[in-house]
Chain A
Amino acid sequence: MALFQIAEPGEAPAPHQHRLAVGIDLGTTNSLVATVRNGSATVLPDERGRNLLPSIVHYAADGQITIGHRAQAKQTEDPRNTIVSVKRFMGRGVKDLPDSATTPYRFVDAPGMLKLKTVVGEKSPVEVSADILRALKQRAEASLGGELIGAVITVPAYFDDAQRQATKDAAMLAGLNVLRLLNEPTAAAVAYGLENAAEGTYVVYDLGGGTFDVSILKLTRGVFEVLATSGDSALGGDDFDQRIFCWIVEKAGLSLLGDHDTRLLLTRAREAKEALSEHDSTRITAKLQSGTVVDLELNVETFETISKNLVQKTINPLRKAMRDAKLGVDDIKGVVMVGGATRMPHVRRAVAEFFGREPLTNLDPDKVVALGAAMQANALAGNKSDDEWLLLDVIPLSLGLETMGGLAEKVIPRNSTIPTARAQDFTTYKDGQTAMAIHVMQGERELVADCRSLARFELRGIPPMAAGAARIRVTFQVDADGLLAVSAREQSIGVEASITVKPSYGLADNEIARMLQDSLANAGADMQARSLAEARVEASSLIAATVAALAVDASLLSEAEHKDVQAAIALLNETVMGEDAVMIRTRTEALNHATGKFAELRMDNAVKRGLTGQKLSELG
């Protein structure tokens, strides 16, 4: 129970400190960080005024880590140790990569998620992403002049559980408090919807560097309700580069390219793609290591022909989402285009053709996700805002269990609004069976082999019974981040056993702990100092508030109650300048507890006095 501060009419309430929170768009190609300042969302640029941070990390032999533009410069010179588009590897194994042969990296296949062999050892995509997030955190803290209380990190709506969990772990590794994982199209809808006071049903078409999402949202008086989402978490602008790269290789009659040349030509391909959004044709020139000079002319028609089926690949998810939402194109009020790849004219044309109308392209497709995330971060951090809104999102893929014969049984269907939970009962099939294997998966296909395996665990300690007598209830809980927790419980008379697993991509808990230790090795002392400082601030403000409240309303308490509160204040006062953060917190909690009833009485009293409509800001 927290102590409430009650402001008298005409008296200003205690100034509510603005809590620093950011929205981070952790993109395949570029990442951004944004915040709400003076009521409006804004992207935080680097010291040279650049908004985008290229999602590129370079690892040097001497241990130096370079991120962003400076890492970009290293990609042709040291391709193997310069990690680009790491988002494509999050929560993925080597077998999941369609084009692992054309990347310059040396992959190590680890259970669940691959690793990259670099000059400083094996790096998990989680660690690489954490390095990018750390750079954004530093940028934000330098620019805002303080510690962040938390961040909203965006993920593709079509990310599965393993990819989401990996993203959250990366944020944790970077020392960020994750307020929420937010789906990218939903973030874009927030920025667009609030800006334009939009009402009705909208489609967000989000084609990024490496991922494609489509979400259909209903906007009703500040409620953003996702009706359906679909996509392809391995389709994006990178694939268009790849097509041009293949075209160059074929046209120039090249073979057996080294890492350096591959990277160089991929870069040229990307530049050509970007140029073709503005011009009818573009020249591609490159000097390869062998001395061979590539000099080609690529026109729009050719580019559109070689990438036509990539555009087509985005239309089927659109159809699926429309079907799931039970909507026709006439029900759609507007189509919002998000992601740098939606600058390509043939992408816009295909979307316009599907919906029979021009899509909305009046917002910056690079920034809109970060801006929406910043707005949500500001709201979640508890900063007051004039308009309140609510996001109701869904899970993109069905969650299920393996049943007999390698079949997947769906427990929570895709497009269920989160948070959600579902329980399913199972029984034993052999007399005296005391253990049961549970295999959790995600996906739409009927066969287990075609779905993504999220976790396997064993429920032990089932009391021996006749076959079919035990009742094992497996519960799936999906939280507001879209992350799944599974628990199982045997619930025959009097005997219960339960286990909870957090599905992961095979990174064992101790491995995460190791990474955390690595990254915190130097930060340990700082963390303790910060924790102590925070505890002191919290304690002092609670004492001040309680003393102030007693000065006004002590008469509400009996003598004994008054004494209890005074005693708790005295105890906390004794500790507050000491070095023991845990003790400070314990005694703060004790004071909070002792003032619980007092706070209620004061509220009742306030209500009685007709002070309705006063802001009760919570302390502590």
Chain B
Amino acid sequence: MAFDFSQDHFSLLGLPHTFVLDDAALEAAYRGLQSQYHPDRAASLPDADKRQALQAATRVNEAFQILKSPLSRGRYLLKLAGVDTQEETNTAMPVAFLMQQMEWRESVVEARANQDMAVLDQLAQDLRGERLGLEASLGRCLDEQHDYIGAALIVRKLRFLEKLDQAIGDAIEVLLD
């Protein structure tokens, strides 16, 4: 069972290199590859085959994980195009966006302090709407306009939203415990 570790994730899963993706095709391709390479398939084979299966299945999981999430898929497409998203270094953001982030953050802190699950759920909803809008623009930038600089800015924005979503999730979990 030869496995080509030099392929990029899209090629591995037999999908076109685009941001807009057929979720059903991605899942089907993923299951097909795991059916072939999962370590369970090599359980009664020699150790060398087991190691190979471990590495191959790990790679397949990594590819699926990256392509499944729109943010990591966009980041990955930019990486393939040789564009650095500068998520750690570039902090220049439109003022309006930053203001909204601050407002949201404050709401999360407040809801956490008030143990208000309903507010947290509502925030998660609002955030989801915002995220879907950004993802649609990211798709246009990458697939239609090939505007990688614009795409990198959207990736940085999405990264903000992801962190915020984590903060909401953490707050909800604290309430559940």
Contact = CB atoms under 8 A, between A and B. Distances in A.
A421 B40 contact: no
Contacts of A382: 43-44
Interface string B45-78: 0000000001001100110110000000000000
A225 B27 CA distance: 11
Nearest to A225: B31
Contact of A420 (B38, B40, B62): B62
Interface stretch (B11-19, B151-159, B169-177): B169-177
A439 interface: no
Given A379-B40, A382-B44, A480-B38, A420 B61 contact: yes
A380 B173 CA distance: 38
B65 A417 contact: yes
A381 B44 contact: yes
Interface in A301-329: 316, 319-320, 323
A45 interface: no
A381 B44 CA distance: 6
Interface of B is mostly: helix
B176 A319 contact: yes
B39 A480 contact: yes
Given A320-B176, A381-B44, A421 B62 contact: yes
Contact of B54 (A319, A380, A419): A419
A421 B65 CA distance: 12
B44 A180 contact: no
Interface in A364-393: 376, 379-382, 388, 390-392
A420 B58 CA distance: 5
Given A19-B44, A417-B65, A392 B34 contact: yes
A380 B40 CA distance: 6
A302 B172 CA distance: 33
Contacts, number: 62
A506 B118 CA distance: 44
B35 interface: yes
A220 B43 CA distance: 22
Contacts of B38: 390, 392, 480
A390 B65 CA distance: 18
A374 to B, nearest CB: 14
A179 B65 CA distance: 26
B46 to A, nearest CB: 9
A477 interface: yes
Interface in A170-215: 179-180
B44 A419 contact: no
Contacts of B34: 223, 390, 392
Interface in A398-446: 416-421, 444
Given A316-B176, A390-B35, A421 B58 contact: yes
Nearest to A480: B39
Classify chain A: how many residues form its interface, as a range: 20 to 34
Nearest to A223: B31
Secondary structure type dominating chain A contacts: mixed
A616 to B, nearest CB: 13
A479 interface: yes
Given A379-B40, A391-B40, A419 B58 contact: yes
B65 A416 contact: yes
Nearest to A182: B40
A223 B35 contact: yes
A419 B39 contact: yes
Nearest to B177: A316
A477 B57 CA distance: 12
A70 B172 CA distance: 49
A110 to B, nearest CB: 30
Contacts of A480: 38-40, 54, 57
Contact of B39 (A225, A379, A381, A479): A479
B31 A179 contact: no
Contacts of A419: 39, 54, 57-58, 61
Contact of A381 (B35, B43, B169): B43
Nearest to A19: B44
Nearest to B172: A323
A337 B177 CA distance: 23
B159 to A, nearest CB: 16
Contacts of B44: 19, 149, 179, 380-382
Nearest to A315: B176
A295 B39 CA distance: 56
A319 B62 CA distance: 27
Interface in A5-21: 19
Nearest to A218: B27
Nearest to B54: A419
Nearest to B43: A380
Interface in A335-379: 376, 379
A229 to B, nearest CB: 15
A532 B44 CA distance: 20
Contacts of B58: 419-421, 477
A323 B173 CA distance: 10
Contact of B31 (A149, A220, A320, A444): A220
A179 B43 contact: yes
Contacts of A379: 40
A487 to B, nearest CB: 13
A97 B147 CA distance: 58
- A-B residue pairs, 4 tightest by C-beta: A382-B44, A380-B43, A480-B39, A419-B58
Given A388-B35, A477-B54, 14 more contacts: A179-B43, A223-B31, A225-B31, A320-B176, A376-B40, A381-B44, A392-B38, A418-B61, A420-B58, A421-B58, A444-B173, A479-B54, A480-B38, A480-B57
8 contacts: A179-B44, A316-B176, A379-B40, A388-B35, A390-B40, A391-B40, A419-B39, A477-B54
Interface of A: 19, 149, 179-180, 220, 223, 225, 316, 319-320, 323, 376, 379-382, 388, 390-392, 416-421, 444, 477, 479-480
